[in-house]
Amino acid sequence: SQTIHQWPATLVQPVGSPLSLECTVEGTSNPNLYWYRQAAGRGLQLLFYSVGIGQISSEVPQNLSASRPQDRQFILSSKKLLLSDSGFYLCAWTIGTGGFGYTFGSGTRLTVV
């Protein structure tokens, strides 16, 4: 069966520090991968998506970047965190156009102090 892993579960980082969040999927090949952010009082916002290795699309201009070094690995990064980067980050995957639905990871709670 397919599973999705995200880590770490929680993270407290100072302003200006770097960030690396990792997401991996097991049990499937060539998934579409997504990073969403959920900020307090706001809905889930799509940050990045990837349809293949090295293929990254950005939905919102921001202080973050994403990479997909392997088929089932998706990494969210920042060189220098801002206070506004605080939020709940969720990774998700689907196959093809998403006709079979999306599966989400357990999320990472990031607090920038």
Partner 1 sequence: KQEVTQIPAALSVPEGENLVLNCSFTDSAIYNLQWFRQDPGKGLTSLLLIQSSQREQTSGRLNASLDKSSGRSTLYIAASQPGDSATYLCAVLGQAGTALIFGKGTTLSVSS
Residues that bind partner 1 (CB under 8 A): 6, 34, 36, 42-44, 46, 49, 57, 59, 88, 90, 92, 97-107, 109
Angle, CA 108 vertex, CA 85 and CA 103 arms, to 5°: 115
The conformational region for residue 101 under phi > 0 = left, psi -120 to 50 = alpha, else beta, is left
The smaller minimum CB distance to partner 1, of residues 80 and 102, is found at 102
In the complex, least distance from residue 80 CB atom to partner 1, rounded to whole angstroms: 26
Q: How far is the CB of 48 from partner 1 (least distance, A)?
A: 9
Place of tokens 């579960």: 9
Q: Nearer to partner 1 by C-beta: 26 or 59?
A: 59
CB of 34 or CB of 112, closer to partner 1: 34
Shortest Å, Cβ 88 to partner 1: 8
| CB 113 to partner 1: min, Å | 18
> CA-to-CA distance for 49 and 55, rounded, in angstroms?
8
- Tokens read off for 35: 């990073």
Identify whether the C-beta of residue 95 lies closer than 8 Å to the C-beta of residue 32: yes
